[in-house]
A and B are shown apart, each in its own frame.
Chain A
């Protein structure tokens, strides 16, 4: 199956600093990538959808100036949490979509997630 990597897997940063998370599709071209946030014991919350070469579409309530998303190529998307605060501490998961036919076209392949702790 398709593989999506995410880096780093965990990060601790100080309040006020910025953190960049990378999401890569390793063996397929991802036309669309999704960024999710998940708080403990809660379901996935979609933050934004990004298509290669165009601006990301943010969900309501997600600050686009705080969560910068770049999808520069068909295999790489980045999420930068700017001026991080303790309330940004969460599990951030990316997924990628880009199969060629059938369910592969719609299935989202998830990265392993990045656990961010802001102190």
Chain B
């Protein structure tokens, strides 16, 4: 079956770095997405990886290892506004997104 695993909740300190891991099992693979969702709002796109390696975009970076079925989202210089849920989603061979349950990130001052 198809499955996405990510931690339910993480806590970090303002100004620090946090890494949110995601493992996936899909029928075929066409890329891995990370989305940010604040409470009561729709998800917003953060990153897309289809090749192995690290993609850096400002304070956020995303890493993919296709052979390991593994990705992580790295958030640097954490700010209070980064408190949100982070959703990992893998695209299968039918170009459908398989969603993880999301990781709630709590930032403490």
Contact = CB atoms under 8 A, between A and B. Distances in A.
A21 B61 CA distance: 35
B50 interface: yes
Given A43-B87, A44-B87, A108-B97, A103 B42 contact: no
Interface in B1-59: 30-31, 33, 35, 40-45, 48, 50
A13 B94 CA distance: 36
B22 to A, nearest CB: 12
B91 interface: yes
Which range contains the number of A residues in contact with the other chain? 10 to 19
Contacts of A49: 96
B44 A110 contact: yes
Given A93-B42, A107-B45, A107-B48, A44 B91 contact: no
Given A106-B30, A106-B31, A108-B97, A44 B43 contact: yes
A44 B56 CA distance: 26
Contact of B42 (A1, A46, A113): A113
Interface in B68-103: 87, 91, 95-97, 99-102
Contact of A43 (B40, B41, B48, B99): B99
B6 to A, nearest CB: 10
Nearest to B31: A106
Contacts of B91: 106
A34 to B, nearest CB: 8
Interface of B: 30-31, 33, 35, 40-45, 48, 50, 87, 91, 95-97, 99-102
